[in-house]
Amino acid sequence: MLDQSSDSLETIFQKALAAPKLFRNHDALRSDYVPDHLPFRDDQITSVAQVLSPLLHSSKPSNLLIYGKTGTGKTAATRHVLSKLTTASKNNGIQATFVYSNVRMAGTEYRVLAELAAQTGLSVPFTGLAVSEVLARLQGQIKNKKLHAVFVLDEIDYLVKLFGDRLLYDLTTSSDAIAPGFLSIVGISNDLQFKEELGARVLSRLSEEEIVFPPYTAQELTTILHERAKFAFNSGAYTEAAVNLCAALSGSEHGDARRAVDLLRIAGEVAEREGSKQLDEKHVRIALQKIDQDRISDALKSLPLHAKLVLIAAVKNDSSENKKSSGTIYEHYSGLCKASGIEALTTRRVSGLITELDTLGLVSATLVNYGRYGRTKKVTPQISQDVLRQAFQDDGVVSQLLD
DNA sequence: AGTCCACCGGAAAACATGGCAA
DNA sequence: TTGCCATGTTTTCCGGTGGACT
């Protein structure tokens, strides 16, 4: 990186222009891309289509639950069917409304409802209303516009885990409130155990139909990846071995196609930036590292202020061996706060922040006992001071503290 | 056998912020 | 304007806890 800093922008652009183009269709490797053809998913696609097809006769389809681990094509297959259904209903003059929301992205019940409402053409404020109020308005909208709606709730297990099944209950039992419109729910879950967290009534309503997406086998994954590569890259722009390696490295044990595709895309970008004519195994390995680094650096940058301070307190070792107890970290931390004129948080909160850093993998914290001398979390930083400095260099207040 | 350290971590309440509705 | 709501962060309160030490 640094040794290129002498290059003027001109030469960088020149290089980019002169470099052979590897990608023919870059978008085909983006994670939200829905390919025309989903290999090895014909059965599932047919099933989904069958469940939803009553829409074309203007009657209410059954609610549907779709299961499968991450990267097994649930979302892609569902969206695929939805887009076909949209065109089919348009062509035949049937009105149907398809609404998609990823619950985890949305984050809260309220935002899920707001997102759903927005897609039915009803705008609700970003905040300020009671959840029940938004629900009532959404139901009103379905009723008044006589919508034939299908709500797809992706990562529905997340919703239930955090907020319980109340919202699902309300949505599945509202048919009276929304007649003559109707509403079917398609729930997509990564978690096969998810049903156990549902109340019996919601469960029976929601899982009128179920479809399971099995993980891809290593063989299938390789085939899929080759197909995508053929579509995304120019011919001769990649080696077979590189694609095989992507499949092997990223997904074969979980059958996770998304990760494999991501890896392939990043490897392609690496190769293109390098100006090489062909994507090969070397680039895949670099990409694998890069994904890791980016993940860490993103995590660091998006940390709230006090979490950053705590992390600095944990990493910045006065060379006295880098394991620290939460007590000493707190001392360091409050020192840092005083130095920069920030009010320090309580020990309880800092303890919580340490736990959060631990789940992010930025530090590792283990509970240790010293009997008579109490017990603490021993905190070992998982990243070096240099990495911190890199990530925080744009953050004036924080970066000063690292010197 | 019992004490007691030095902290953990759950629960609930408080606070802050942003925003609606009437 | 006042009152209510959602959401996220932090504080307060407090009941643990494993084992070295007495």
Distance CA(A247)–CA(A253), nearest Å, equals: 10
pLDDT surpassing 80 at residue A262: yes
Is residue A31 a part of any domain in this protein? no
Under 8 Å between Cβ of A148 and A55: yes
Q: Is A29 within the bounds of a domain?
A: no
Residue with CA nearest to C10's C1' atom: A349
Residue A248 shares a structural domain with residue A329: no
Identify the CA nearest to A210 among candidates A187, A227, A231. A187
Looking at every residue in chain A, the average pLDDT score rounds to: 85
User: Distance (Å, rounded) from C-alpha A5 to C-alpha A114?
Assistant: 47
Q: Check whether residue A57 has its CB closer than 7 Å to nucleic acid strand B.
A: no
Residue where a domain terminates, one of A213, A248, A269: A213
Residue A354: pLDDT band with limits 50, 70, 90: very high
The domain containing residue A384 runs over which residues?
303-400
Same domain, A309 and A386: yes
Number of folded domains that form chain A: 3
Q: Which helix (H) or strand (E) holds A102?
A: strand A97-102
Q: Is the CB of A126 under 7 A from strand B?
A: yes
* Residue nearest the C1' of B3 (CA based): A372
Of chain A, the percentage scoring pLDDT greater than 70 comes to 94
Confidence category of residue A54, pLDDT binned at 50, 70, 90: very high
Mean pLDDT of A22-30: 83
Q: Is the pLDDT of residue A269 over 60?
A: yes
> Structure tokens of A312?
């600095």
Q: Are residues A62 and A160 in the same domain?
A: yes
Whether nucleic acid strand C comes within 7 Å of the CB of A125, the answer is no
Q: Is the residue at A32 inside a domain?
A: no
Residue A28 within any structural domain of the chain: no
At residue A317, the pLDDT reads 64
Chosen domain end from A268, A300, A332: A300
Instruction: Mark residues 12-41 of chain A whose C-beta is closer than 7 A to nucleic acid strand B.
Output: none
- pTM recorded for the entire structure: 0.79
Distance CA A97, CA A142 (A): 10
pLDDT per residue as tens digits for the range A310-336:
999 988 765 555 578 888 999 999 998
Cβ of residue A21 lies below 7 Å from strand C: no
The enclosing domain of A11 has a CATH number of 1.10.8.60
Distance A163 CA to B20 C1' (A): 23
Q: Is residue A36 part of a domain?
A: no
Instruction: Please say whether the beta carbons of A213 and A42 come within 8 A.
Output: no
Chain B bases closer than 7 A to any CB of the protein: 3-11, 18-21
- Asked if strand B contacts A275 at the CB level, meaning under 7 A, the answer is no
Task: Please report, rounded to whole angstroms, the spatial distance between the CA atom of protein residue A217 and the C1' atom of nucleotide B5.
Answer: 54
pLDDT at A214 over 80: yes
Please, which positions of strand C sit below 7 A from a protein CB?
4-14, 16-21
Which has more confidence, A399 or A301? A301
Statement to judge: residues A18 and A100 lie in one domain: no
Q: Are strands A324-325 and A375-381 parallel, antiparallel or unpaired?
A: antiparallel
A227 and A283 in a single domain? The answer is: yes
| Residue A31 confidence (pLDDT) | 78
> In this predicted structure, what is the pLDDT of residue A125?
82
The tokens describing A181, both together, are 């419109």
For residue A372, say whether its CB is under 7 Å from any atom of strand C.
Answer: yes
Provide mean pLDDT across the span A178-201: 84
